């Protein structure tokens, strides 16, 4: 595992996701103008990377290249944030629809390792399937377009899929691995300090890690992630509460808190270009 420079933290904001709705939190940014405006507010607070899911006009998750392109153009007209599209998409999207976004030229895209089973909500019993061959297909298409994969793992067993990509030379150093902890899916691990430490123990050499704790664990375990030399992700995709019983006002509120904590730990949020350097991305 590689620690990022001690005095820096790369903050990703995941603003929308696939499952949160305005009925759960009316401030959820869904449409391209809302996503871009909110991304800019997060950038001003210190976020370097914007993880993007798109919605259609009625608020349903879409893989539409045109909608992603609209979001990218709007964000790029305002700031130099790193754009990281989701190829996890949402449970309503097919394998092909999930990956359409890479034709809208993001610099990074999520690449989910392993498979999980949804066990609650409207999609209970529907798998979140990512078979080894499918992962290899996605990563090959990303490589052809110069897109850096953000490999998401939800349990230790998914490191096997990461190792497979490394062995086959399909991913470049530094490997960027997102440790998602606390998803309420079968096959996912809980968001506890012990599990986080243990995942870090098993990371391959030359891997930078990011921590994405889901729900109330977002605050304590992103703090722990910073202390352990990682990057962190906050945002309404993974958590809609600022604290128990209090809905977050907007995504920037989460970023601002992460930056305050980082500064207490003598770290500064990496700018998008500093983050590009650390992650081995081209500076535009």
Match 């871009």 to its residue by tokens. 36
In the bound complex, what is the minimum distance in angstroms from residue 84's beta carbon to Zn ion?
A: 9
Quick one: residue 171, left, alpha or beta (phi over 0 = left, psi -120 to 50 = alpha)?
beta
The nearer residue to ligand KMH, 81 or 183, going by C-beta atoms, is 183
Binding residues for Zn ion, rule CB under 5 A, total 1
In the bound complex, what is the minimum distance in angstroms from residue 6's beta carbon to ligand KMH?
A: 27
Q: What is the CA radius of gyration of the chain?
A: 17
- Count of other CB atoms within 10 angstroms of residue 261: 17
Q: Are strands 241-243 and 246-247 parallel, antiparallel or unpaired?
A: antiparallel
- Candidate segments 83-91, 100-108, 127-135, 183-191, binder of Zn ion by CB under 5 A: 83-91
The nearer residue to ligand KMH, 182 or 267, going by C-beta atoms, is 182
- Candidate segments 64-72, 84-92, 133-141, 219-227, binder of Zn ion by CB under 5 A: 84-92
The nearer residue to ligand KMH, 115 or 212, going by C-beta atoms, is 212
The nearer residue to ligand KMH, 34 or 152, going by C-beta atoms, is 152
Burial code (b: 16+ CB inside 10 Å, e: under 16) for 77-111 equals: eeeebbbbbbbbbbeebeeebbbbbbebbbbbbbb
Tokens of 82: 């790193």
**What phi and psi, each to the nearest 5 degrees, are found at residue 48?**
-105, -30
The nearer residue to ligand KMH, 61 or 250, going by C-beta atoms, is 61
Burial code (b: 16+ CB inside 10 Å, e: under 16) for 117-142 equals: ebeeeebeeeebebeeeebeebbeeb
70 binds, among Zn ion, ligand KMH, none (CB under 5 to 8 A by kind): none
Which residue of the chain is nearest ligand KMH when measured via CB?
88
In the bound complex, what is the minimum distance in angstroms from residue 124's beta carbon to ligand KMH?
A: 17
255 binds, among Zn ion, ligand KMH, none (CB under 5 to 8 A by kind): none
Distance CA 81, CA 202 (A): 30
Q: Which residues contact 110 (CB under 8 A, 6 or more apart)?
A: 51, 84, 85, 86, 87, 88, 149, 150, 152, 178
The nearer residue to ligand KMH, 5 or 91, going by C-beta atoms, is 91
In the bound complex, what is the minimum distance in angstroms from residue 156's beta carbon to Zn ion?
A: 21
Which residue of the chain is nearest Zn ion when measured via CB?
86
* Position among 15, 62, 86, 212 found at the interface with Zn ion (CB under 5 A): 86
In the bound complex, what is the minimum distance in angstroms from residue 98's beta carbon to ligand KMH?
A: 8
In the bound complex, what is the minimum distance in angstroms from residue 153's beta carbon to ligand KMH?
A: 11
- The contact set with ligand KMH (CB under 6 A) reads 17, 86-88, 110, 112, 152, 180, 183, 212, 214, 237-238
The nearer residue to ligand KMH, 68 or 267, going by C-beta atoms, is 68
Number of H-type helices and E-type strands within the chain? 9, 17
- The DSSP H or E segment spanning 132 is helix 132-144
The nearer residue to ligand KMH, 34 or 238, going by C-beta atoms, is 238
CB of 192 within 8 A of CB of 224? no
In the bound complex, what is the minimum distance in angstroms from residue 283's beta carbon to ligand KMH?
A: 25
Distance CA 10, CA 68 (A): 23
**Contact set with Zn ion (CB under 5 A):** 86
């Amino acid at each position: 595992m590689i620690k990022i420079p001690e005095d820096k933290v790369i903050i990703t904001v995941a603003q929308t996701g696939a499952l949160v709705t305005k009925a759960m939190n009316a401030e959820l940014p869904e449409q391209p103008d809302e996503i871009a405006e909110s991304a800019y507010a997060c950038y001003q607070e210190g976020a370097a990377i914007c993880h993007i899911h798109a919605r259609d006009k009625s608020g349903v998750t879409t893989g539409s290249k045109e909608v992603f392109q609209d979001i990218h153009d709007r964000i790029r007209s305002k700031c130099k944030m790193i754009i990281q599209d989701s190829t996890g998409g949402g449970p309503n999207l097919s394998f092909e629809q999930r990956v359409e976004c890479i034709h809208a030229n993001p610099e990074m895209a999520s690449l989910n390792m392993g498979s999980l089973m949804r066990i609650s909500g409207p999609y209970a019993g529907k798998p979140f399937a990512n078979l080894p061959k499918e992962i290899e297909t996605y990563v090959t298409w990303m490589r052809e377009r110069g897109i850096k994969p953000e490999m998401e793992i939800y349990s230790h067993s998914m490191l096997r899929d990461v190792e497979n990509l490394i062995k086959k030379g399909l991913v470049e150093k530094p490997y960027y691995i997102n440790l998602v902890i606390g998803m309420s899916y079968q096959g996912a691990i809980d968001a506890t300090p012990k599990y986080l430490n243990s995942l870090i123990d098993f990371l391959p050499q030359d891997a930078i890690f990011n921590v994405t704790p889901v729900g109330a664990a977002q605050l304590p375990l992103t703090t722990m992630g910073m202390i352990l030399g990682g990057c962190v992700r906050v945002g309404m995709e993974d958590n809609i509460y600022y604290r128990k019983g209090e809905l977050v006002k907007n995504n920037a509120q989460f970023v601002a808190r992460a930056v305050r904590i980082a500064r207490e730990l003598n770290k500064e949020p990496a700018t998008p270009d500093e983050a590009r350097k650390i992650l081995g991305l081209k500076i535009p």
